[in-house]
Chain A
């Protein structure tokens, strides 16, 4: 079997994606973008799983990637519904605006 991409490179890309996602969640205020960034972290993890699965010649990592995708889909379903609902209530998307509670 010829391995085109070494696992280290895949994981490096995954780590970069993860970092971008994490920074996105921490820095951005728009819930939609924050949510997207979080999903990006998930996908980075899925990518890392696939890279390692290839490295170890194992199926479990790929299985995990599928599970991550499926779960992410469920999460997006709920998440988008929630965001849209809050958007309808407030007509603006800014987590600081949503904040009515203090402390």
Chain B
């Protein structure tokens, strides 16, 4: 019965093997990176072959196509992070193992069916990221690590207390057992509230987002890229699962609340992204805004919304990976900050890099024929089917603000002037090509991905 966990087991063995490789190999060897990449690829291949729906330990571990999709998304983020960081001199031999460990945490959050695993997954995701965030040996890096650590510990504390209250209200740790007890008693409502706040911190929803820009700016770019994609996948997956399994009966209550937060997050995130000059900060704020889009799907509290939220993670993830890849190439080995001004004339200096960036921005802005459009279309459909017209309008308003955010860098790229230029490595080239082609493919022919996502979200409202 364990075979449905095989991708995770492969990934876990991969972490250990990579650690051993990092100990044995010289500190400048790429062997640990290769280990990490190969094991992640193997786990990805195994995950994409699985089709089943089962659970272990009384619903503590849920093996269904939902957890498989989460695993696949996370592994994509891990592999992209590894490829972007393919420089042992700079990032050190422990980098791959830590990144894989964080990825494993997100996967655990994907299959967690009770509070214990949810907490363990969250911490497994967070602890390595504290180290990784601080791994730039500059004051900026220290600040990023410290802020992330304090905010992480704080939010985990809130989440834990919420979990304790839920446990107190029901006498059970398993999500599905929460449905039996009404939320209306104060204890359960408070428990759910605290739990949500803890998860919303990780997802970076306004007003629990203040740590994001500083952490993204201070972290090494590959780490920021993983955080932007992998962390959000884990947090969103857990959020959706908790709410759908445990609190589907009180959906109208939390749906309304999350709807307000989603609108606030989308608009505020994009508004603050507008005046940013540093590209990493701009992407961080755009990540906040996009977390709001994901929340729209969750707030819709229907099957369509769940599908939309899960699907939107992929277009967003690909686009943000693409954008961070461009940052990684332009910042070079010395990690000089990349501002909007450094993009000047990029279209003439490095046309391929510019094309990749253009695709990322078009997708984030939601222009048709890129994956982002399908994602937004789906989200609007979920919101309207849930009769949440206000949320749909909020999404549109945020997207209009987002246009100005994403087309400003594009115009810089075509403006004359001397900005930065950087060298491609094999790793950045692969990520750039794969993410750009993926974005366009999903935008033009989304059916295969949609099919997989729809299959995997089917679990949600059965309980």
Contacts and interface: CB of A to CB of B under 8 A. Distances in A.
Most buried by A among B134, B158, B164, B172: B164
A10 B281 CA distance: 44
B293 interface: no
Given A64-B173, A78-B131, A95 B146 contact: yes
22 contacts: A22-B158, A35-B150, A38-B150, A38-B153, A38-B156, A41-B153, A41-B154, A41-B161, A45-B163, A48-B168, A49-B167, A51-B168, A60-B167, A64-B116, A75-B153, A78-B149, A79-B153, A82-B142, A82-B146, A86-B146, A98-B147, A101-B218
10 A-B pairs with the lowest CB-CB distances in the bound complex, closest first: A41-B157, A45-B160, A38-B153, A48-B164, A56-B171, A52-B168, A86-B142, A45-B161, A45-B164, A49-B164
A58 B58 CA distance: 15
B167 A61 contact: yes
A41 B152 CA distance: 12
Interface SS of chain A: helix
Contacts of B115: 64
A68 B149 CA distance: 16
Nearest to A50: B164
Contact of B120 (A31, A34, A71, A86): A71
B331 interface: no
Nearest to A74: B127
A98 B168 CA distance: 40
A60 to B, nearest CB: 5
Contact of A75 (B127, B173, B281): B127
A82 B145 contact: yes
Contacts of B127: 71, 74-75, 78
B339 to A, nearest CB: 13
Given A71-B120, A82-B146, A45 B157 contact: yes
B52 to A, nearest CB: 27
Interface string A36-71: 001101101110110110011010110110011001
A98 B161 contact: no
A94 to B, nearest CB: 11
A63 B164 CA distance: 12
Contacts of A86: 139, 142-143, 145-146
Given A18-B157, A82-B142, A85-B134, 7 more contacts: A11-B168, A22-B154, A41-B157, A41-B158, A45-B157, A49-B167, A74-B127
Nearest to B167: A52
Interface SS of chain B: helix
B140 interface: yes
Interface of A: 7, 11, 14, 18, 21-22, 25, 31, 34-35, 38-39, 41-42, 44-46, 48-49, 51-52, 55-56, 58, 60-61, 63-64, 67-68, 71, 74-75, 78-79, 82-83, 85-86, 89-90, 95, 98-101, 103
Nearest to B170: A56
A100 B161 contact: no
B116 A48 contact: no
B4 interface: no
Contacts of A78: 127, 130-131, 149
A56 to B, nearest CB: 4
A38 B164 contact: no
B94 interface: no
Given A64-B115, A75-B153, A7 B168 contact: yes
B160 A35 contact: no
B165 interface: yes
Nearest to B166: A52
B213 interface: yes
B139 A90 contact: yes
A89 B130 contact: no
A35 B149 contact: yes
A31 to B, nearest CB: 6
B143 A98 contact: yes
Interface string B120-155: 100100010011001000011011011101100110
Contacts of A61: 164, 167
A79 to B, nearest CB: 5
Contacts of B214: 99, 101
Contacts of A56: 167, 171
Interface in B77-112: none
B250 interface: no
A86 B168 CA distance: 39
B154 A100 contact: no
B459 interface: no
